[in-house]
Chains A and B, each alone.
Chain A
Amino acid sequence: MTPRRTQTGINHEAYLVRHLFDPDKLKQIPTRNGYGEGLVEAGKKDKNIMVLCADLTESTRSLAFKEAFPDRFVQLGVSEQSMASIAAGMAITGKVPFISSYACFSPGRNWEQIRTTVALQNSNVKIAGAHAGVSVGPDGATHQMIEDIAIMRVMPNMRVIVPCDSVETKKATLAISAAVGPCYFRFAREKSPVFTTDKTPFKIGHAETYRFGADVTIIGTGPLLYEALLAAQVLSVDHGIEARIINLHTIKPLDEKTIVKAAKETGAIVTVEEAQAAGGLGGVVAETLALHTPVPMERIGVQDRFGESGEPRELLENLGLTAPSIIQAVLTVLKRK
């Protein structure tokens, strides 16, 4: 639906949860759970779906699928490179394989195998990157994958999807299983607010507006989108600034139209992601704006550094990825408008 210019506040047609800002009523569930549930449902619908896992069955939530369909679950051991190509071989033979591991290993370690045997061959392999972002926390920098969006979105034929909560992850898993062709999607280990519902629209390649506003647009991807909603609430109440919030769950294929329209209508953009801003969502949006509608822009994301051990919340705050930093970025970008 097209918002009227005067419209502000939450988009009711996005069907977000009713108690959006009530921390007591808001459910906290890791996005990876949505993957587990989505896999089982997809497995029931399509007999050709197979799940491959590299020794991380429980933590990637592939376990539910393994229990429901033991014959279609394949254990690879710690062989991410081979896993990508084995999946390609299976896809060529008519299967729809999902490969599950931590994002730092898949697509981190097996990027070339994905490039050659999945993307170039355009084989129907789905790459599920678990434990993405810095919110893996205590595991430290080795396991905090923040470069995945950048390295995957430059691959021809590849779709890149970053769901924002467990409900959207489930929808994404189902949509991905039905879409023919290579796809990468990432999810997180840590619990995060469930703020969308079964009725919230989700379509690959179609950005959703969650909040109307005409002063600035915050484009977010992944669980940090909730921080953007919090920031917008504070901006509205304390500063009289009405921010539009866009959920850009699909990094590729990119919904350019929605981004350009938001840039034209609000004149300033802030991007929010739990990944390297350079090359990630921040990179995608900067490229789009530079090509079509140059407007001032600020990027909330990891700024060319690695993470480290720490509690998830502590890390997000330390890296400047939470609501206060988003508010600051909005105030900065508005000065440049």
Chain B
Amino acid sequence: MPNLTLGPRVRKPLHLHDRALKKLEERALTMRKDLITMLVEAGSGHSAGPLGMADIFTALYFHIMVHDPKKPNWELRDRLILSNGHICPIRYVAMAHAGYFPKSELMTLRKFGTRLQGHPERKKLPGVETTSGPLGSGSSQAVGMAYVGLLDRRPWRVYCVMSDGELEAGQTWEAMLFAGRNKLYNCTFIIDRNNIQIDGQTEEVMPLEPLQAKFEAFGLNVIRCAGNSIREFVSSVEHAHGVSEKPTVIIADTVPGYGVDFMEYDFSWHGKPPTFTEGKEALAWLRTLGGKIKSEHE
């Protein structure tokens, strides 16, 4: 085994000031609106997962990751692996907001000839690190990259977003064995713990808990946080950066469909988009923050 103890250089502090937090929260809300619009236009795709992960993607793209939208292949960039490829619409929205491509291109999602494939493809869209969709293979690719990162003493980090249903795939645990054995502390796994999958509640389809104990048994550092709280998520990542013995898994408890009341907690929204009418209703809900404020368009 090569000596994998020399690692990333000291990184920028992630501490989140109130003003920055407010801006991120506003960004997440706008991203949710764009997401609904693009899903209505596409006519197919996933709603619940992307809505639930909007806060985490906002935090990753606009606060945590070192990246340059103008240079998607920049060697020093942090790598964001999206293992559960089906929630790619939220990644596309985040990328468009960050400046990887024009926002207008979001309306081409899932259409013939688009770079925004139904499941993301590395060869189609610069900035997408891996092709994904078939569940379980993202974590393996992430640990492959992280291994090379430590071997070659590169400063970048790897973040791997995974779903909870995906943890039912055996390959995930092969990757965790590898991550634990090689102490890939430059790799952070982020689990979208929203408790739903296509056929129902994860704990009914195939129980996953106790998740924390499972990951700990594989030699990972485990942090559990509120996935729809940007502040909590950022501080979890900050914590992960501070652990140089083990890879970290952040189990982010999220609400599927977060922000749109009629989609929240409902597994039937896993794999379908809103219709035109539902989309209008969802946008109204997001604009008024669930009726708490008056929409500027009313």
Residue interface mask A66-93, B partner, CB < 8 A = 1: 0000110011110101111111111011
Number of interface residues of B (CB under 8 A): 31
Tell me whether A120 and B121 are in contact (CB under 8 A): yes
Residue interface mask B130-141, A partner, CB < 8 A = 1: 111110111011
CB-CB under 8 A for A89 and B149, given A76-B178, A81-B140, A82-B175: no
Q: How many whole Å from A327's CB to the nearest CB in chain B?
A: 47
Tell me whether A116 and B145 are in contact (CB under 8 A): no
Kindly state whether residue B123 has any CB partner on chain A within 8 Å. Answer: yes
Closest to B171 in A: A81
Residues of chain B within 8 A of A116, CB atoms compared: 131-134, 137
Residues of chain B within 8 A of A71, CB atoms compared: 2, 151
Kindly state whether residue A121 has any CB partner on chain B within 8 Å. Answer: yes
Q: How many whole Å from B159's CB to the nearest CB in chain A?
A: 13
Of B132, B133, B145, B148, the most chain A CB neighbours within 10 A belong to B148
Q: How many whole Å from B168's CB to the nearest CB in chain A?
A: 14
Kindly state whether residue A101 has any CB partner on chain B within 8 Å. Answer: no
Q: How many whole Å from A287's CB to the nearest CB in chain B?
A: 27
CB-CB under 8 A for A86 and B140, given A116-B133, A121-B131: yes
Kindly state whether residue A253 has any CB partner on chain B within 8 Å. Answer: no
Tell me whether B145 and A89 are in contact (CB under 8 A): yes
Of A84, A86, A89, A94, the most chain B CB neighbours within 10 A belong to A89
Tell me whether B137 and A85 are in contact (CB under 8 A): yes
Tell me whether A89 and B171 are in contact (CB under 8 A): no
Assembly CA distance A87 to B175 (angstroms): 12
Find A82's partner among B121, B148, B174 (CB 8 Å cutoff). Answer: B174
Number of interface residues of A (CB under 8 A): 28
Tell me whether A89 and B151 are in contact (CB under 8 A): no
CB-CB under 8 A for A74 and B129, given A79-B178, A85-B140, A113-B171: no
Residues of chain B within 8 A of A95, CB atoms compared: 148
Find A90's partner among B1, B133, B148 (CB 8 Å cutoff). Answer: B148
Kindly state whether residue A11 has any CB partner on chain B within 8 Å. Answer: no
Tell me whether A90 and B147 are in contact (CB under 8 A): yes
Kindly state whether residue B177 has any CB partner on chain A within 8 Å. Answer: yes
Kindly state whether residue A258 has any CB partner on chain B within 8 Å. Answer: no
Tell me whether A113 and B177 are in contact (CB under 8 A): no
Kindly state whether residue B111 has any CB partner on chain A within 8 Å. Answer: no
Interface of B is mostly: helix
Residues of chain A within 8 A of B129, CB atoms compared: 92
Tell me whether A87 and B144 are in contact (CB under 8 A): yes
Tell me whether B144 and A90 are in contact (CB under 8 A): yes
Tell me whether A82 and B149 are in contact (CB under 8 A): no
Residues of chain B within 8 A of A94, CB atoms compared: 148
CB-CB under 8 A for A81 and B170, given A86-B141, A92-B129, A122-B123: yes
Assembly CA distance A83 to B143 (angstroms): 10
Kindly state whether residue B162 has any CB partner on chain A within 8 Å. Answer: no
Residues of chain B within 8 A of A82, CB atoms compared: 140, 143, 171, 174-175, 178
Assembly CA distance A120 to B117 (angstroms): 13
Of A70, A81, A94, the most chain B CB neighbours within 10 A belong to A81
Residues of chain B within 8 A of A87, CB atoms compared: 144
Q: How many whole Å from B81's CB to the nearest CB in chain A?
A: 8
Assembly CA distance A117 to B131 (angstroms): 7
CB-CB under 8 A for A88 and B171, given A93-B148, A116-B131: no
Tell me whether B134 and A112 are in contact (CB under 8 A): yes
Give B168-196 interface residues, CB cut-off 8 Å to A: 170-171, 174-175, 177-178
Residues of chain A within 8 A of B142, CB atoms compared: 89
Residues of chain B within 8 A of A121, CB atoms compared: 121-123, 130-131
Closest to B176 in A: A82
Assembly CA distance A95 to B177 (angstroms): 22
- In order of increasing CB-CB distance, the 8 nearest A-B pairs are A89-B144, A85-B140, A82-B174, A89-B141, A86-B144, A79-B174, A71-B2, A85-B137
Q: Measuring CB to CB, which residues of chain A are less than 8 angstroms from any residue of chain B?
A: 70-71, 74-77, 79, 81-90, 92-95, 112-113, 116-117, 120-122
Pairs A–B under 8 Å by Cβ, sample size 22 = A70-B2, A79-B178, A81-B136, A81-B137, A82-B143, A82-B171, A83-B140, A86-B140, A89-B130, A89-B140, A89-B141, A89-B147, A92-B122, A93-B145, A94-B148, A113-B137, A113-B171, A116-B131, A116-B132, A116-B133, A117-B130, A121-B123
